[in-house]
Structure 1
Amino acid sequence: MPAASSRSPAAKAPRRRMRLPWWALVLPVISFAVLLTLVASPAEARAASVPQGLGPLLELLAALVRGGA
C-alpha cells in the first residue's frame, strides 16, 4: 500500500517567479516625492480656487439637496 502524500497539490506545482511592472515601483516613489515636496515647502502650495461659473451652480445644487429651490 503506497504511503499517502503529505504535500498539497499546490506544493507540487512548479513555482513561477512573479515580477512587478516598472510602474508599480515608480508611481509610489513619485507620489511620495511630490507629497514630501509639498510638506517641505507649504508656502509655495496654493489653495485651489473655484471657477466663477461653478460657484453659483454648486449653490443651486446645495439648495436643491436641502429641499428648497
Structure 2
Amino acid sequence: MSAASSRPSVPRGRGVRTGLPWWALALAVVSFVTLLCVMAAPSSAHAVSPSQSLAPVLEFLARIAGIAS
C-alpha cells in the first residue's frame, strides 16, 4: 500500500498575471515623474494673484451656459 501524498498537485504557472492593462503602469510612472519634477523645482512655483484665480474661468463658463446676464 502506498502512502498518500500530503501536498496537493498544483500546476506551475509562468508568472504572476495581474490582469492590469499596460496603461495602468504607464499612468503610474508618468504621475510619479511629474510629481518628482514638481518637487525638484519648487523655486519656479509662485503664488496665484487674484487676477489669475478661478473666478474668471467660472464667469466665462456661466456666460456660455447662459446662467449669468
Shorter-chain TM-score: what band?
0.3 to 0.5
Q: Which structure is higher in helix share?
A: 1
TM-score (norm 2): 0.45
TM-score (norm 1): 0.45
